[in-house]
Structure 1
């Protein structure tokens, strides 16, 4: 089966991302997890307060 992000023919894992179902390879899952994880240098102090 082909990864829905990069198209490689590999073993895939089902992930729900932003309400959509995707079948992704391990490399794309790792990349997605890195994007979704908060970085240590980005604290809540960088955000503007909600009004």
Structure 2
């Protein structure tokens, strides 16, 4: 999952979620202002526990 966090002077931070990296990066280029692109990785999804 990919998250774009946008910070604005007049509003609280806004977050947008994307399933694909391509879509997130395309949108990231179009958004104006202070922004952060993050990839969220869940280590416990579908991974068996280590002994």
TM-score using structure 2 length: 0.30
Tell me which structure has the larger Cα radius of gyration: 1
Higher relative contact order at CA 8 Å, sep ≥6: structure 1 or structure 2?
2
More helix by share: 1
More strand by share: 2
TM-score using structure 1 length: 0.30
